[in-house]
Amino acid sequence: MLPDFLRILIAAPVCWILYITIDVYFKLPEQGGVSGATAIAKDIERGGGALHGGYMMGNIVSSPDASAGTLLASCGVTAAGIPGGLFAALLVYIGNRICYDPGYAGTTGAVVATFVVFGFTQIGFAASDFVAGMVIAILTIQGLSHSHASRLLATLWRWRS
C-alpha cells in the first residue's frame, strides 16, 4: 500500500482531470452561466487573464460545478460509500437549482466522482485521499494565479472547440 502522501499526490491530478474535463464538456468556459460568473471573468481578464478561463473560474465560485461535485462526492464516499456520494450528488443538484444554474456539470461531476473515488478505494486508496486531492486541485485553479490558471483553462477550451 502506498503512503498517504503518495496517494494524495495521485488523487490530486485524478480529481483535477475529472473536474476540468466535465466542466469543459459542459462548456463552462464559453460564458458565465450564473449570476456573478461574468463579473469574476471580466475582473480576471482585466488582471491579465483569459476571459473564457475566467468564466469557468467564475462558475466555480458562483455555483456548484464539477469541482464542488467532485469534492462533495469524495466527502460522501468517505462518510457512507456509494450511497454517500450519490446523496452528495443530490445536494449538488439542489444547489444548482437554488443558483438557477442551467447546467448539470456539478451533478454529473458528483455522480462520476462517486464511482471514480469508490473504484480507487478498491485498489488501496482511501476516499479521504480524494478529499485532500480535490482541495489541492481547486487550489491550483482558484488559489495560485488567476491570470495563469484562466489562460490554461482557455487553452483547454480552445482544444475542445
Residue 48, helix vs strand vs coil: coil
Residue 152 and residue 85: Cα distance in Å, rounded? 29
Asked if residue 161 has pLDDT above 70, the reply is: no
Average pLDDT value for the chain: 90
Asked if residue 101 has pLDDT above 80, the reply is: no
Asked if residue 96 has pLDDT above 80, the reply is: yes
**Closest Cα to residue 75, out of 83, 66, 84, 67?**
84
Residue 37 and residue 44: Cα distance in Å, rounded? 11
pLDDT of residue 36: 83
H helical segments located in the chain: 4-25, 37-46, 51-62, 66-98, 105-121, 127-142, 146-160
Residue 81 has which C-alpha cell?
Answer: 460509500
Contact present, 56 and 34 (Cβ < 8 Å) = no
DSSP string for residues in 109-147? HHHHHHHHHHHHHTTT--HHHHHHHHHHHHHHHHTS-HH
The predicted-structure confidence for 111-131, as pLDDT tens digits, reads as follows: 999 999 999 999 999 999 999
Asked if residue 160 has pLDDT above 80, the reply is: no
For the segment 66-88, the average pLDDT, to the nearest whole number, is 95
